Structure 1
């Protein structure tokens, strides 16, 4: 037993001496670099991935958030007084231009019509009788002009009485949908004129309204086609019919209206919409969003590698945004844009480049 213990202690001591002598792993410790090798390593250019770009005429699209809006909206008012005894519409009613919405009755107006009609009949009879007398030389012709004038005055009185009576008939000003009816049957007022009868909206055509920033306004023109995607998932097409020339004082944006057909009036007023408007093409190139950097002055741009493999900053302007790849203007055709390592280099720094295929970027 004692001999075995002595043997084990001896083996441990031998292993310790071997490790201390460096013979256990003679190749693990690398040889120290010479000063020349260290200087060469420090001067080695930083390696970056570059994408060679190509400028094309890019058809831009502005994607804007907005809402639908009725082409016209009005509260139809009563034009005279009376009792509302016939209300022919309710909320949701579809009406055509000149359809009767309500009737205000007033016995006094009807009586005025009857009185004016009776007076007209009397004046006509008097004129006819006078003509018969003149025909047999029983009356002077001078009286004929006076009677003819009285007939015309009676005709005017009847027309005025009928017009006043007709003011009690409230009609739709145009095709549309009734959205509210604040009036109630049986309501009466000595002067009902100006009282609200029914609210109407015109939904065909329908408008998709967006607010556009100053930067995008110049690219939008009247007549441009637009695609409108509703929050319901429905997609319709239309065209730009109005571009405001005056900015909102609060948002500094400009109102743009896209007119869309809505013959069945199923698309309502006020629904959320996403409007895509193609605008004039611009020379642009496609780069990954991650390639964008800011200069020391806060300018948005990219870093490129010139013919001497030196880093340079180029300011750019977004032409169309996207999640991964985006279109920008301001990049020369054939420029080598740094798309890998752009955050670790600075202007006027020499670098080593490795070409990155476009497929490697779009696949990410």
Structure 2
């Protein structure tokens, strides 16, 4: 019986010569060389799983309440301007003590393994929709108090100033909130007029032909 126990113990040690990973993935690096002696707990290889891949970003405390688990997200990879889509799977409950931002993780399918570990991306997470206006960035101006906004004209062609909040910057223009549902915004010459003066506006159609 002692001999059988010794054989079983030896067989268990032999079985440990075959190393297996706890998940499927790609062998990124092979630290161990053939014939080298490995100590318990020492690194022998690095295996990475790229499908699905996890995108990690940080949301400021002023915006974290607008992010929810399961929300749809889009990301634009810095390399090649490729756009990908995924789902929010984790929102940190504790902020980073240095930046006061909250970690957010997005899971993205990557069946062809084309997205690499460590790539940078610009992430946009969907939240509850708000009414906004798309304006050219040049339409923005500052009032005497340094408040960011735009200059409007009313039905009597009188100029007024309206403060706005930037929602998103896009190649087509900037999305802003804070304006009435319909507004006549001065997009050219707004720096040459002040609130209260009457102007003779010229309208132009920005709709695509």
TM-score, with length taken from structure 1: 0.49
Shift of 1:180: 1.3
- Hey, what does 2:159 align to over in structure 1? 311
- Hey, what does 2:48 align to over in structure 1? 201
How far apart, in 2, do the equivalents of 1:267 and 1:341 lie? 46
Alignment RMSD (CA, Å): 3.1
How far apart, in 1, do the equivalents of 2:2 and 2:149 lie? 80
Aligned residue runs from structure 1 range 1-364, under 5 A: 114-116=3-5, 163=12, 166-188=15-37, 192-230=39-77, 231-232=79-80, 234-307=82-155, 309-323=157-171, 325-347=173-195, 349-359=196-206
Conserved 8 A contact 1:113-1:161: no
Shift of 1:262: 2.1
Conserved 8 A contact 1:289-1:323: no
Residue ranges of structure 1 left out of the alignment (5+ in a row): 1-111, 119-157
How far apart, in 1, do the equivalents of 2:205 and 2:168 lie? 18
SS at match of 1:257: strand
Which whole-Å deviations, capped at 9, do the CAs of 1:192-236 have from their partners, x for residues lacking one? 212221111111211123333344434332222233443245544
How far apart, in 1, do the equivalents of 2:117 and 2:180 lie? 46
Conserved 8 A contact 2:159-2:194: yes
The answer to which structure, 1 or 2, has the higher relative contact order (CA under 8 A, 6+ apart) is 1
SS at match of 1:269: coil
Conserved 8 A contact 1:227-1:237: yes
User: 1:249–1:271: structure 2 CA closer, same or farther, 3 Å change rule?
Assistant: same
Higher share in helix:
1
Shift of 1:266: 3.9
The alignment of Structure 1 onto Structure 2 pairs a total of residues equal to 208
How far apart, in 1, do the equivalents of 2:197 and 2:46 lie? 72
Larger Rg, first or second structure (1 or 2): 1
Conserved 8 A contact 2:55-2:107: yes
How far apart, in 1, do the equivalents of 2:54 and 2:200 lie? 52
TM-score, with length taken from structure 2: 0.80
SS at match of 1:283: coil
How far apart, in 2, do the equivalents of 1:229 and 1:295 lie? 35
Shift of 1:269: 1.0
User: 1:232–1:291: structure 2 CA closer, same or farther, 3 Å change rule?
Assistant: closer
